[in-house]
Structure 1
């Protein structure tokens, strides 16, 4: 495990939040405050054959461990670097005859490491695994039953001939994973692929309007490439000016929710009551519930009816998406937007959700003009709600820009790609693969925009010919899964 920048932060007792981290120096937007590799990490159960078990990059073809037949790697370099963490796991999988679930695999990797190092405190860490919160006392009956099932299955898997751990300690480790397991993404940050424990990151408290963001950078940072190029690395990056002594914060959940819904989600998943300024003042609730301005304004009964229709439609959309019926999704979205248009404002959360799904699915079906129209409305709404340096905002603007490019709306598309690049330079940094992709897109659309301004007819002819060779990548098949949580909560 490697840690950088911890001299720039210190632990303190945050009022009403327990321990937290505060800065010991001044930071500016885009600065990396600290970075660390995982104490332990595993690939999700459903992606064990598609993602490298060392660097967590998605690859077309992976090499399989010849012993356990379970672990997969990019190449021999990743396989060699994995052996220290995989050695015990390999024997355990062979003996059990199968690999257990991701929680059990992660717990075992944590305890094998504690056993090797005779301590849960790694070099460069401000806190040990032993001292991380587990919140077991707050678990509901269903969660406690799940915990006990994991503990029992873990005992069947555990092969250690050395230190033996008591039931309370094993339960503590599973509680730590439940509350502090961090969702890992692939090399471009587009898909969740695993879960890991990052002890220093666990000390950073939540704020719905945070001053930091967390980004995965799979060994792309030059300073760690030579020695740690296969390790999953997270970076805590500043979103704006941070003064010496300021508490550092990140958002555990997506901000695009009503205050009450955010608070319920935080209480249910992380066991605390959020009292940040955004929650106390309910800053964006008026925007997220806004109705169309006009004279007269829509009647309350009409607003209530359209809101209920929107929620009912979302249930139908979720079912259709899960079954891959994307043309039905488009029909539901069109009907809902037609009902919403004269009643709900473009910042209304119910309208934004439909616009987001509609633009994504329409792009997948290559109905780009309609997708671009909806993406533009969605982005305009997002810009009024999200923090200007929010990573999810940047990704949404990037997708909207690509959609406009596919639709041949080059002026708006180029502007959006430039806007997304400016945001992601701060949230991801210039070395991140997605920032490099955006930089290439920006250069390409800038060149195309000049051609368009010189001669529209020639531009469209050349564009039509070029599309058959190497277009900008279209989005992947739409996924019906929640986005925006950085800490992994296994359901």
Structure 2
């Protein structure tokens, strides 16, 4: 089976062979709504017999003869009530016992016994169960992340659901909507604690929950597909609203190699079905409207900027064709649509968010050991965070984002004066990327010419940063422990160096400030999502 990009490429090849590219491009350019664009692409794909069939290879996994290294993979592939599911749970319980995850071990033993575990093997399993019960009280706590920080009640923003009162949304003709400080902000101060309106898991499917994204070594499978596992029955129940539609098609979607900029729009369109009749009223009337900004409300997501008018016809057509493939899978293999109007709205929303997502979706990350045994960031998933999308880019940010499960916490990493803008970084930092490269990439993806002070003043790369005299430093031993993922060192180092950051800011840029900020970022990263090997 071709993936989604391959299908679109094949369509373009066939159109080229028939010398219809100019004709199709001209007609596509006349379409004024996302739904019209998606329908146009759908008809082309249908006419050329390129719409995908439903893939069910993963459902035939019982015939798969290769050895499965991860018992959780076995759990995902086994049928409910089958003996091989019981064996997978029992085998996983043995690993959990050896790793001293006694509570999780006991849950897997219960699941094995509830799924027709063979009588001739029960004695060994029951013996493990008894030992785990005796040792459960001695199980050391292992958290995926520290408790999610909270903004104190008396400092919560009355106008922005997820923010501190230290910031507000400001609007100008040149900068659009952006975030500024309402008072002086100190390094380390929490500015935002935002839950995503919608999020997806992209990696680590066999040790993270499909619904909450939390690390879990004893996941339980969806009973209807082999693609999804949950950390609890509650998460499985919470996921029903959207997974009852994606369940049958998810294996095919993954084989089509659809990335986050395709999967998140599909999930958003599935989740907001109850709002289809009022979508027209959701459109923004005023970019700076006088209203409370709510992260859990669809209106904020709907009104993010898609930059449709700035996109090339080829870019729009590519997205429309992919939206048509998604629409086809939902229409043909689920009972999601009840009428033609719902089909139109779905196509409109999928293509809309395939455009807004490129500039507004955020990575969900965790620290994990790399090949050098150093804890470094890895992408885990992605989410639609409406308020975080309000932060403009600077090639040297004054804030940092960290993920606690799917929740993103944003803190200041340098002093921000009252009235100054709070700047995020969109992945292009002056210390590691030359100005011309940064600006070209920002223009291509985000459609703006970066004129931040870093670009205007031509700040150098990391190795060329000027040095200043300072006694602010972190011991090599602490650096080593931070690289090895030591949380207690992270807490102590933050306490020691945050008060000293302001003194390094008098001359910017300088190499000492850059180095200490990187230490601060690693410390905060260790308080957030950390995938520790068993």
**Into which bin does the TM-score normalised by the smaller protein fall?**
0.5 to 0.7
Indicate yes or no: 2:326 matched with 1:154.
yes
| CA distance in structure 2 between the aligned counterparts of 1:211 and 1:403, rounded to whole angstroms | 22
Shift of 1:402: 4.8
Equivalent position of 2:446 in the other structure: 270
SS of 1:191's partner is strand
| CA distance in structure 2 between the aligned counterparts of 1:179 and 1:20, rounded to whole angstroms | 14
Distance 1:257 1:67, change over 3 A: same
SS of 1:56's partner is coil
SS of 1:214's partner is strand
| CA distance in structure 1 between the aligned counterparts of 2:274 and 2:319, rounded to whole angstroms | 25
Distance 1:152 1:434, change over 3 A: same
CA deviation vs aligned residue, 1:310-332 (integer Å, no higher than 9, x gap): xxxxxxxxxxxxxxxxxxxxxxx
CA deviation vs aligned residue, 1:346-365 (integer Å, no higher than 9, x gap): x26xxxxxxxxxxxxxxxxx
Q: 1:129 aligns with which of 301, 305, 310?
A: 301
Q: Assess if the C-alpha contact under 8 Å between 1:424 and 1:435 holds in 2.
A: no
Q: Assess if the C-alpha contact under 8 Å between 1:42 and 1:106 holds in 2.
A: yes
| CA distance in structure 2 between the aligned counterparts of 1:85 and 1:94, rounded to whole angstroms | 15
Shift of 1:266: 0.9
Q: 2:352 aligns with which of 148, 172, 197?
A: 172
Q: Assess if the C-alpha contact under 8 Å between 1:93 and 1:99 holds in 2.
A: no
Q: Assess if the C-alpha contact under 8 Å between 1:93 and 1:157 holds in 2.
A: no
SS of 1:133's partner is coil
Equivalent position of 2:433 in the other structure: 257
CA deviation vs aligned residue, 1:101-160 (integer Å, no higher than 9, x gap): 244431122112222356677972496222111123333455334312321111113342
Distance 1:169 1:66, change over 3 A: closer
Indicate yes or no: 2:194 matched with 1:36.
yes
SS of 1:22's partner is strand
SS of 1:284's partner is coil
Equivalent position of 2:150 in the other structure: none
| CA distance in structure 1 between the aligned counterparts of 2:181 and 2:494, rounded to whole angstroms | 29
Q: Assess if the C-alpha contact under 8 Å between 2:393 and 2:423 holds in 1.
A: yes
| CA distance in structure 2 between the aligned counterparts of 1:43 and 1:276, rounded to whole angstroms | 33
Equivalent position of 2:460 in the other structure: 284
Q: 2:228 aligns with which of 55, 71, 79?
A: 71
Q: Which has the higher contact order (CA 8 A, sep 6+)?
A: 2
Of structures 1 and 2, the larger Rg is shown by: 2
| CA distance in structure 2 between the aligned counterparts of 1:283 and 1:400, rounded to whole angstroms | 26
Q: Assess if the C-alpha contact under 8 Å between 1:9 and 1:23 holds in 2.
A: yes
| CA distance in structure 2 between the aligned counterparts of 1:399 and 1:175, rounded to whole angstroms | 44
Equivalent position of 1:197 in the other structure: 384
Q: Assess if the C-alpha contact under 8 Å between 2:363 and 2:382 holds in 1.
A: yes
| CA distance in structure 1 between the aligned counterparts of 2:397 and 2:252, rounded to whole angstroms | 46
What TM-score, normalized to structure 1?
A: 0.54
Indicate yes or no: 2:279 matched with 1:108.
no
CA deviation vs aligned residue, 1:250-303 (integer Å, no higher than 9, x gap): 111242111111111211221111000110010215xx6xxxxxxxxxxxxxxx
Q: Assess if the C-alpha contact under 8 Å between 1:30 and 1:429 holds in 2.
A: no
Equivalent position of 1:210 in the other structure: 397
What TM-score, normalized to structure 2?
A: 0.50
SS of 1:269's partner is helix
Indicate yes or no: 2:394 matched with 1:236.
no
Q: 1:83 aligns with which of 233, 240, 249?
A: 240
Distance 1:260 1:93, change over 3 A: closer
Equivalent position of 1:224 in the other structure: none
Please, which runs of 5 or more residues in structure 1 have no aligned partner?
219-231, 289-346, 349-380, 407-413, 438-472, 477-491
| CA distance in structure 2 between the aligned counterparts of 1:280 and 1:403, rounded to whole angstroms | 34
| CA distance in structure 2 between the aligned counterparts of 1:436 and 1:47, rounded to whole angstroms | 13
Shift of 1:6: 5.8
